[in-house]
Amino acid sequence: MRNFLFLCLCIPVCIFSELPIKQPLDFHKSEEEIQEAVVLGGGIGGLTSALYLSRANLHPLVITGQQPGGALTQSPLVQNWPGELSIRGNDLTEKIQEQAEKSGAKFEIADVVSVDFSTRPFKITVRDLLTPKQLRVIKAKTCIIATGATPKMLGIPGEDTYWLKGVHNCAVCDGNFYKELDVVVVGGGDGAITEASYLAKFAKKVTLVVRSNSLKSIEAHRKEELLLMPNVEVLYNTTIQEVLGDAEKMTSLVLKNSTTHQLKTLPANGLFLAIGSIPTTDLFKGQVQLDNKGYILLYHDRETSVPGVFAVGDACDPEYRQAVIAAGDGAKAALQAEKARSSPSSTPTSNIRPLEVQEPEIISIKSLEQFDKDVLCSKTPIIVDFYADWCGPCKALEPHIRNWSKRFDGKVKFAKVNIDILSKLSQRYSVRAVPTILYFDKGGVLIDSRTGMQEIAGLIDKLEGFSTSQ
């Protein structure tokens, strides 16, 4: 239920299992664009802000970052949203976004590079996720920060080495790759309980590693349900010291009992981190006032130390971190922003129109037989996109796949595979996270594999090189 997301940061393949994209920032900037209101973040708080702003006829622009829908998309079941007995987090955010779009909100999947709140209109520099050399400056009369929070890492040996090779931070995103396998969840709160409960539905065994001597949960019945699951074991007073593997994948963990100080090695195929989060606010240091933990300080309801700049959700909430509270924050911030619309601004608003691209021909692989025929027997190099309907980064990648297909028409073909439909194909090529792209040469020879937005971005250069050499 947390509302963290990644703007020029997190998040990670499907997030959040995405790592930060780091690129030099001395690139050409396009002409500046002016917006009445800009929302930074596409989680539940940002979506609600967009809905209220659009209904006030402010036509907000929402910069979603790498995970449209935010952290709530990672929740398999939301059972405390008013009016919904049970709903998938991804379904809930899609409904709110659709409602906001119909009211006039615009959405753009991009990273925020920097902000300048020193003068009005405010300046926000963004870049496309997969063409990072193209920077664009947007001017905003008012701005709502909804960047959420970023999952914490353990900071232990082997964690980086086996990231996405066994180590993850989203069970909904990557748990599907561990059917009938042994997995470990680390954490002692509601997030860990949610992850463990979800994984227990299809994993052979789930071991929950808890640093303290008890689980801390707001919803007691969920904790009780987890403890009754036959394939779940809880190790209290235990910490993870190291992630071990065979260079290709994680194989085990080194655990330490904090009471006896005894070490032991636990064989495991996957590790899922659920140890909390930190506010995603580095971008705003020196722009708005933060507390000593990085949370944005508020002065007049949702307004920050800068008039006309507001904050909602986990970026300014160190205590509750609930989706319904972030939504309420978003509504209040939008109402305040509407009142501030008469603040000085240099020129009238001009709307940004999303790039319109003709729908390209992309092969949808429905069976192993079709894959063997259309991919392995292809007379043209082919890119295969492994994706999932519930994966935020996959959705962020989708328009780029369409654009690439059009740009390299006749030179490189494109296909897509839904991992929930063809899990056997994922296993064949050891696809353990999404989005993953496989690059096949003529005759089905695999020549490259990329996982996550950071790695996939590098594939553009390879495609460009292929195109110019023809």
The DSSP 8-state label assigned to residue 358 in this structure reads P
Name which of 65-74, 107-116, 361-370 the model is least confident about: 65-74
Q: Could you report the per-residue pLDDT of 280-294, keeping only the tens digit for each?
A: 999 999 999 999 999
Residue 451 confidence (pLDDT) above 60: yes
Q: Which pLDDT value is given to residue 69?
A: 85
Residue 438 confidence (pLDDT) above 60: yes
Residue 437 confidence (pLDDT) above 80: yes
In whole angstroms, give the CA distance from residue 150 to residue 166. Answer: 19
Q: Which one of 174, 317, 329, 385 is the catalytic residue?
A: 174
Mean pLDDT of the 207-218 span:
93
Gyration radius of the chain's alpha carbons: 22
Name which of 158-162, 266-270, 424-428 the model is least confident about: 424-428
Q: Could you report the per-residue pLDDT of 85-135, keeping only the tens digit for each?
A: 889 888 999 999 999 999 999 999 899 999 999 999 999 999 887 777 789
Q: Which pLDDT value is given to residue 29?
A: 53
Contact (Cβ atoms closer than 8 angstroms) between residue 45 and residue 356:
no
459: CB partners within 8 A, 6+ apart: 383, 437, 439, 448, 450
Q: Which pLDDT value is given to residue 345?
A: 44
Task: Give the position of tokens 């991009």.
Answer: 110
Residue 327 confidence (pLDDT) above 60: yes
Q: Which pLDDT value is given to residue 342?
A: 54
In whole angstroms, give the CA distance from residue 248 to residue 154. Answer: 20
Residue 52 confidence (pLDDT) above 80: yes
Mean pLDDT of the 398-409 span:
81
Structure tokens at 435: 């989005």
Could you give the angle at which helices 44-55 and 89-102 cross, rounded to 10 degrees?
A: 20
Q: Which pLDDT value is given to residue 196?
A: 96
Dihedral of CA atoms 232, 233, 237, 242 in degrees, nearest 10, equals -80
Q: Which pLDDT value is given to residue 129?
A: 77
> To the nearest whole percent, how much of the chain has pLDDT over 90?
56
233: buried, middle or exposed (CB in 10 Å: 19+, 13-18, 0-12)?
A: middle
Alpha carbon of 152 to those of 253, 279, 371, 373: distances in Å?
A: 18, 10, 38, 43
Mean pLDDT of the 259-264 span:
96
Residue 400 confidence (pLDDT) above 90: no
Q: Which pLDDT value is given to residue 359?
A: 55
DSSP 307-339: TTEEE-GGGS-SS---HHHHHHHHHHHHHHHHH
Q: Which pLDDT value is given to residue 119?
A: 94
Q: Which one of 10, 170, 316, 394 is the catalytic residue?
A: 170
Mean pLDDT of the 375-396 span:
87
Q: Which pLDDT value is given to residue 396?
A: 79
Residue 43 confidence (pLDDT) above 60: yes
Q: If pLDDT is split at 50, 70 and 90, which confidence band does 360 have?
A: low
Residue 192 confidence (pLDDT) above 60: yes
Dihedral of CA atoms 108, 112, 116, 121 in degrees, nearest 10, equals 0
30: CB partners within 8 A, 6+ apart: 134, 135, 136, 137
Q: Which one of 10, 173, 316, 394 is the catalytic residue?
A: 173
| 316 given a catalytic annotation | no
Residue 81 confidence (pLDDT) above 60: yes
Q: Which pLDDT value is given to residue 401?
A: 84
| 377 given a catalytic annotation | no
Q: Which pLDDT value is given to residue 133?
A: 75
What mean pLDDT value characterizes the chain? 85
